[in-house]
């Protein structure tokens, strides 16, 4: 099983995504029959290969399998961030869902590796899905972070845009 896991990793790194998926599937199939084997690392190769091939629905199914088998770990935060980033151009609801999951895990793990980018993704996806209160809460949270000047401008613009969408023009002026 381990050699199939390694093969899926090598194939993914060489951008041979179709064969990486096949190797990952084989590792998972064989791993379920072999006692004390751990084919779950190949799930990540399968997930990222599916994203690279724009097979989004299958990638979402794979992330669900990873959640069931792996529980909560740092690699899942990274996968959530990747799926949120991919989904923000296609499906804002999915982007918001996975960005929120990543942010929650990141908070539990007491890290901020993916902030403020993930925070912006979540706030912007919430704005696009008309969840204005959630978008505004996240924008205010971002403004309380230590930010680079361009990120601060982005956050100020985002907050003002949300207030304008809420028709609270006086409050928006404070962020312009």
State the pTM of this model. 0.88
Q: Does 71 score more than 80 pLDDT? A: no
Chain segment 83-128, per-residue pLDDT in tens: 999 998 889 999 999 999 999 999 998 998 899 999 999 999 999 9
CA distances from residue 128 to 95, 99, 143, 168 in whole angstroms, order as listed: 10, 14, 20, 18
Q: Residue 12: exposed, middle, or buried by beta-carbon count in 10 A (0-12, 13-18, 19+)?
A: buried
CA–CA separation, 170 and 55 (whole Å): 44
The answer to whether the peptide bond before residue 173 is cis (omega within 30 degrees of 0) is no
46 Cβ partners below 8 Å, 6+ apart? 8, 20, 21, 24, 25, 28, 62
- Is-contact 140 159, C-beta < 8 A? yes
Residue closest to 49 by CA, chosen among 20, 25, 26, 77: 20
C-alpha dist (Å) from residue 114 to 79, 121, 152, 157: 11, 10, 16, 20
| The predicted structure's pLDDT at residue 79 | 94
Give percent of the chain with pLDDT exceeding 70. Answer: 100
């Amino acid at each position: 099983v381990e050699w199939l896991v390694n093969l899926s990793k090598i194939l993914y790194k060489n951008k041979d995504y179709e064969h990486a998926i096949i190797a990952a599937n084989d590792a998972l199939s064989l791993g379920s029959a072999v006692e004390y084997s751990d084919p779950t690392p190949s799930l990540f190769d399968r997930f990222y290969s599916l994203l690279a091939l724009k097979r989004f629905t299958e990638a979402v199914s794979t992330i669900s399998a990873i959640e069931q088998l792996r529980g909560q770990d740092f690699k899942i935060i990274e996968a959530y961030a990747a799926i949120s980033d991919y989904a923000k151009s296609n499906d804002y609801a999915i982007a918001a869902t996975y960005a929120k999951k990543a942010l929650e895990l990141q908070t539990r793990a007491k890290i901020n590796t993916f902030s403020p980018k993930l925070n912006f993704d979540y706030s912007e996806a919430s704005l696009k899905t008309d969840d204005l209160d959630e978008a505004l809460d996240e924008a205010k949270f971002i403004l309380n972070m230590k930010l680079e000047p361009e990120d601060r401008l982005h956050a100020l613009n985002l907050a003002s845009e949300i207030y304008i969408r809420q028709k609270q023009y006086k409050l928006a002026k404070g962020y312009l």
